[in-house]
Amino acid sequence: MKKITTRRDFIKKTGLAAAGVSFAPYILPTGRLFAPTGNRSSEHVVMVAFAGGVRQQESVLKRYLDDSQGEPYPGNIMYNMFSGAPPENKIVYGTGTGGMNPIPAILSESLESQGTVFKEVTALSAGHYGGLNSLVQGSTTTTQGLKQRPINPTIFEYLRRHGGYSATDVWFVGNGIGNSTPLLNHSAHPDYGSDYAGNFFAPTVTFSEIGAQFMADAKIYHPENELAPMYKLQTFLDLQFQALTSAGGSLGNTIAEKENIKAFMEAMYAKVAAGTLDLPPVTDNGDLYTMAFAVEVLKWFKPAFMMVNLSAVDSCHADFSNYLAALHRADHAVGHLWNQIQTDIPEMAGQTTLLCTPECGRNLTPNNILDQNDWLAFDHSDANALRVWTLMAGPSVPAGLSIGSEANPIGLVSDTMMTVADLLGVKPEVQSAGMTATGTMSLLDQL
């Protein structure tokens, strides 16, 4: 009797075959033998682009209303990430009427106490776009336009090209599809590009009601009897076409990886429909949903590297109270992320390094827009918008260490990208490529 092969079996078999192949040396598209020259010191790295323009004052300095609205109420509203007591009065950032109920901490010990904080890091750009580019490319290029692929290679491409990581080993989970977000998973650089891209989802769109309308009812094909010949015929058709023009265009996912991603999508639509998604304890804004799906990506793929982008605090342009609430929730999202990694993903627990860096800061002085509490809003364009921080935690990161101060800034935003390269063993290649901002170096080299 013929054994029926399920899709899971197919993925498993092809995965094992791929793993077998990976043990043997192979030639990279660069033409050289696969042998990254750096030392990998972390099995997994998660980078959080935090979280849409964050003022030092309300985040790492824990000043709450004291340095923004002229009201003497300091306090720490990010107690999963930073150590320190929360504000005692004028609570507007929580849940319930007027946000008066702070969200309880998820982590029993703050990430600051578990890791290292670079308290005064210099951003390369006062804008989101330049800031995000400095996080993914390690540089900003003034000639690069909005809605354009990065000009220089991204960390995803460095990892895949020089580290031999597979496409499903590197992920970018975006907060949406606005501006250039969906374009940040690979550059337009001729030596890198889509063949080395990171996989990308903007889950609040992909797995939304609209996404489900087009994607949730996918037909399941038999991997050997149906999909295999279908792909074979497609290959023939592509070969005919490529004989005359160059087409290309995918991210370099193998067939097994594609099947795995499709299986993940199917599982996510089912979880959303059944209400069984692994949500943070409070999930009432887009960032928290984004983080919930980011955790699902980690659980499913256990990637070597994932970058997740949060952005809800950008409401600070017009609504300071909402900014405080979003900042509190971004902290809640990071707490959920770290907690899930340590408690619910055994393959990543104790082997994952977390890096959180705002892509840019916010102004020192407010604009003229008042919110419902008569508090002024803040844009991001002055020198204060170039002040940010970086928080790191993980097995090779010293605990309870604080580096730098307002009088002694240490580190650049682009250092975060170089630190990822360092942790995952491709720092020498990134450095020799010579396309990062001047002065960019691994934060591990600045401890």
Partner 1 sequence: MSMLVSNPFRFVLAGVLCWLLLLTGCRPEPEVTFDVQGLEVTPGFAVKDRLKTNEQWVAIVHVNLFQTAMPANELYNAARVFESIGDQSIAREVLLSNFFNQPDLDLMTRDEMLDDVEGFIDETYLRFYTRFPTQAERTYVREFILNNPGMTPELVYMSFALSDEYRYY
Give yes or no for residue 26 binding partner 1 (CB under 8 A).
Answer: no
CB of residue 78 vs partner 1: minimum separation in angstroms?
28
Binding residue for partner 1, selected from 18, 105, 216, 364, defined by CB under 8 A? 216
* 202 vs 391, beta carbon nearer partner 1: 202
* 27 vs 244, beta carbon nearer partner 1: 244
* 117 vs 173, beta carbon nearer partner 1: 173
CB of residue 273 vs partner 1: minimum separation in angstroms?
15
Binding residue for partner 1, selected from 18, 28, 188, 205, defined by CB under 8 A? 205
CB of residue 283 vs partner 1: minimum separation in angstroms?
19
Q: Where are the beta strands (DSSP E) in 13-169?
A: 44-49, 116-122
Distance CA 128, CA 435 (A): 20
* 194 vs 381, beta carbon nearer partner 1: 194
CB of residue 215 vs partner 1: minimum separation in angstroms?
5
Distance CA 226, CA 312 (A): 44
Distance CA 179, CA 27 (A): 37
Identify residues 129-168 at the interface with partner 1 (CB under 8 A).
167
What SS3 class is residue 252?
Answer: coil
Give yes or no for residue 237 binding partner 1 (CB under 8 A).
Answer: yes
Kindly indicate which of the ranges 32-40, 209-217, 330-338, 344-352 contains the residues binding partner 1, using the contact rule CB under 8 A: 209-217
Give yes or no for residue 214 binding partner 1 (CB under 8 A).
Answer: yes
Give the DSSP per-residue string, 361-393.
---SS--S-B-TTSPBP--S-SGGGGEEEEEEE
Picking from 227, 336, 350, the residue whose alpha carbon sits closest to that of residue 292 is 336
Give yes or no for residue 222 binding partner 1 (CB under 8 A).
Answer: yes
Give yes or no for residue 267 binding partner 1 (CB under 8 A).
Answer: no
What number of other Cβ atoms are within 10 A of residue 218's Cβ?
11
Identify residues 242-261 at the interface with partner 1 (CB under 8 A).
242, 244-245, 247-251, 253, 258, 261
For residue 143, what are the contacts with CB-CB under 8 A and spacing of at least 6? 151
φ and ψ at residue 388, rounded to 5 degrees: -140, -170
- The structure tokens listed for 397 are 């990161």
Binding residue for partner 1, selected from 211, 223, 394, 411, defined by CB under 8 A? 211
Spatial contact of 102 and 91, defined as CB atoms under 8 Å apart: yes
Query: What mask of x and - would describe binding to partner 1 in positions 164 to 203, judged by CB under 8 A?
Result: ---x----x-x--x----x--x-----------xxxxxxx
CA angle 92, 97, 102 (to 5 degrees): 45
248: left (phi over 0), alpha (psi -120 to 50) or beta: left
Give yes or no for residue 265 binding partner 1 (CB under 8 A).
Answer: yes
Distance CA 86, CA 74 (A): 8
How many chain residues are in contact with partner 1, going by CB under 8 A? 53
* 190 vs 249, beta carbon nearer partner 1: 249
Length of the chain: 447
* 110 vs 175, beta carbon nearer partner 1: 175
φ and ψ at residue 375, rounded to 5 degrees: -105, 145
CB of residue 253 vs partner 1: minimum separation in angstroms?
5
State the residues that interact with partner 1 by CB under 8 A.
167, 172, 174, 177, 182, 185, 197-203, 205-206, 210-211, 213-222, 225-226, 229-234, 236-238, 240-242, 244-245, 247-251, 253, 258, 261-262, 265
